[in-house]
A and B are shown apart, each in its own frame.
Chain A
């Protein structure tokens, strides 16, 4: 009985890292909910959708519209950090008119977001830029996947937070 239990335990321990790795890979490959800030001509600005890597293409789907970008055309991928109002858009703007400064109070509630910036070339060599915002912590995984596929990153290290409020002049 004891050897059988030991064998089962050993088999479980052997399979565990593989199972975890497979799950992590599945999570990495899963589409990420993003906001398209700008860059893809077929997609409206600030459109929300899913970004994923499929067969050497960066695929973005926002409702019925979609855009595909060959990974080999991407020249550079950079991640950054930013924040945005929890209540944004037209409703957020309307809250600015709320009485007794309550709109300003609501502005204090912000969420951290990741920014994924891509530089790519079209068929005639023209440079394009695309910017996506992602939930915090998601951009790094996307960048790692792109780098693994051969995309260059001008900031291989995690970017330091931009020093706010300091004007740099030459």
Chain B
């Protein structure tokens, strides 16, 4: 009996130790924080979709959702729109450009009826560059809607994923 109790105590200790060490995630280490970039302002450029013909409503919804999600994240002090003249005065401005390279317009009806088909997907290459044109982030992001929601919801998903990528690469503005 005492042997079994001892084994149980050792197991519990092992589980607690594993949990404690797992809590010290790599994101807390100074090494990764040092690789993050700093910028107080970001300018979101209009979505480019020359090679893939994206319907206008998707193009505008991608752009608007992207700006809204970045503003909500409070990662940058200022979020400027494409063509905004006041962005020129921002000291450490980075620009975010998005180029659509894949688009599959699914069907909300198919999704609701079958659950497994009718996926809408938008594949976008996202680049963040500094004033000198040095690319700080270069990533392919896929916005999609699989189950619930109309097709435009894929643009909201895209905005959320881009913000996650920015969170990984930029220190939050103070």
Q: Do A and B interact?
A: yes
Interchain CB contact under 8 A, A127 and B82: yes
- Taken residue by residue from 81 to 118, chain B's Cβ proximity to chain A (1 for < 8 Å, 0 otherwise) reads as 11111100000000000000111111111001100000
- Taken residue by residue from 41 to 74, chain A's Cβ proximity to chain B (1 for < 8 Å, 0 otherwise) reads as 0000000000000000000000000000000000
Measured CB to CB, the nearest residue on chain B to A115 is: B57
Task: Specify which chain B residues have a CB less than 8 angstroms from the CB of A159 in the assembled complex.
Answer: 55
- The number of chain A residues with a CB under 8 A from chain B is 43
- Taken residue by residue from 104 to 135, chain A's Cβ proximity to chain B (1 for < 8 Å, 0 otherwise) reads as 10011010000101110110111111110000
Given contacts A107-B113, A168-B53, A170-B51, contact A125 B84 (CB under 8 A): yes
Asked whether A26 is an interface residue with its Cβ less than 8 Å from the other chain, the reply is: no
28 contacts between A and B (CB under 8 A): A37-B152, A80-B55, A80-B57, A82-B150, A83-B108, A85-B108, A104-B112, A107-B109, A110-B109, A121-B83, A125-B85, A126-B81, A126-B84, A127-B82, A128-B64, A129-B59, A129-B60, A129-B61, A129-B63, A131-B61, A131-B152, A162-B105, A165-B104, A165-B105, A165-B107, A168-B53, A169-B52, A170-B51
**Closest approach, in angstroms, between the C-beta of B49 and any C-beta of chain A?**
10
Interchain CB contact under 8 A, A84 and B150: yes
Interchain CB contact under 8 A, B60 and A167: no
**B residues touching A (Cβ–Cβ < 8 Å)?**
46, 51-53, 55-57, 59-61, 63-65, 80-86, 101-109, 112-113, 121, 123, 148, 150-152
Interchain CB contact under 8 A, B107 and A129: no
**Closest approach, in angstroms, between the C-beta of B93 and any C-beta of chain A?**
14
Contact of A38 among B51, B56, B61, B123 (CB under 8 A): B61
Contact of A128 among B80, B81, B101, B121 (CB under 8 A): B81
Contact of B101 among A122, A154, A169 (CB under 8 A): A169
Given contacts A39-B64, A96-B112, A131-B61, contact A164 B106 (CB under 8 A): yes
Interchain CB contact under 8 A, B83 and A155: no
Rounded to whole angstroms, the CA-CA distance of A119 and B86 in the bound complex is 19
Measured CB to CB, the nearest residue on chain A to B50 is: A170
Rounded to whole angstroms, the CA-CA distance of A118 and B53 in the bound complex is 17
